[in-house]
A = this chain, B = another copy of it.
Amino acid sequence: MTALKDPIPADTRASDQKIIISVDAMGGDRGPAAVVAGISRSAKKNDEIGFLLHGPKDTLEKLVAKRKNLAGRCEIRHAADVVTMDDKPSQVMRHGKGTSMWSAIDAVRAGEATVCVSCGNTGALMALSMVRLRKLPGVNRPAIAILWPSRNPQGFNVMLDVGADIRADAQDLLQYAMMGSSYARNGLGLTRPRVGLLNVGTEEHKGRAELKEAHELIAGVADRANIEFVGFVEGGDIPGDKCDVIVTDGFTGNVALKTGEGTASLIGDLLKGAFQFSPLSRLAAVLAFTSMQRLKKRIDPRRVNGGVFLGLNGTVVKSHGSADAMGVSAAVKLAFQLARSGFSDKLAARVASATTLAQDAPKSADTASQNGK
């Protein structure tokens, strides 16, 4: 059980040896070939990474053998079973021991790897992560955080929860604020992140009861937690520059994420259509090619691929199910950054301190119920 309490000893060895990332090779829409191509891409760019790759040994050995740069840097762990996109999380929790997903998470649990990456079924991955890695003390609901292209200088904002749980009470939202800030510090390099609480208006009297209560809780600990709380924000602020971290429940966050992705995708397709409309516009497309590539790179979801599970003893990066080699490589890069910064330990410390801060704070429930009339 020692491994459970301190699952990330690799952090301390970061400077003198490779950082090991545990990768679930199965469960993505494009199969293990895309995953192996992705880690090969990462290996090419970064000498400091090593891999534990989980899945059917025969299949993986063939794929890895084709990538010469993975020689000596990728250990294969045999797991015969695969969690599919249709499997129910509850079934996977009970019967998933032989799956590549289980094996990939357990490598983090055992301290063999610092971060786990999977393209598989999100619900199953969260369920297994909770059971095998367990929640951090003080965290009731873990959350999935993503990076969202924004108008801020750092280019991205953090939003959480985008779908770990469909509900969140005021205490959960407070924890999300702490965990999201910690992610913004380690993932985006912000020393004092600005945190906003997602609502349907910015006036303090608006919104659901739990949001008013969470507003009080976060405001009460903001200074001591070294965050700037900007109060309520709206959907338009998710890609905006009013705050760096957007806190919401997993239902709202998931709808917002998918609405934003869908809108961006529609605009992209309409743009393509516009460029193909006439000979003149097709010529324009040729001239604008590099500029458009730059724009695409800026908002391409594959380049910021990876929802991070926060609130567990260890870090899990959920790559998009349809991720190609570039997408997998982006998720691995994120996993590497978080591993190297010692993110898991820092996050645990933040959460512990926030719990203490909230307990020290004046009883916010009283204030909230006064406002809730």
Contact = CB atoms under 8 A, between A and B. Distances in A.
Interface string A279-294: 0110111111011101
Interface in A162-184: 163, 166-167
B255 A235 contact: yes
A208 interface: yes
A254 interface: yes
- Interface size on A, as a range, is 35 or more
B262 A240 contact: yes
Copies of this chain held together in the complex = 2
B255 A200 contact: yes
A256 B254 contact: no
B299 A291 contact: no
A258 B236 contact: yes
B235 A259 contact: yes
A321 B217 CA distance: 32
A291 B284 contact: yes
A234 interface: yes
Interface string A243-264: 0000010111011111111111
A291 B295 contact: no
A35 interface: no
Contacts of A208: 166-167, 251
A198 B251 CA distance: 10
Contacts of A299: 267, 270
A330 interface: no
B267 A294 contact: no
A320 to B, nearest CB: 12
A27 interface: no
Residue in A254, A262, A295 whose Cβ sees the most chain B Cβ within 10 Å:
A262
Contacts of A149: 266
Contact of A284 (B235, B261, B284): B284
Interface of A: 88, 149-151, 163, 166-167, 198, 200, 205-208, 234-240, 248, 250-252, 254-267, 269-271, 273-275, 277-278, 280-281, 283-288, 290-292, 294-295, 298-299
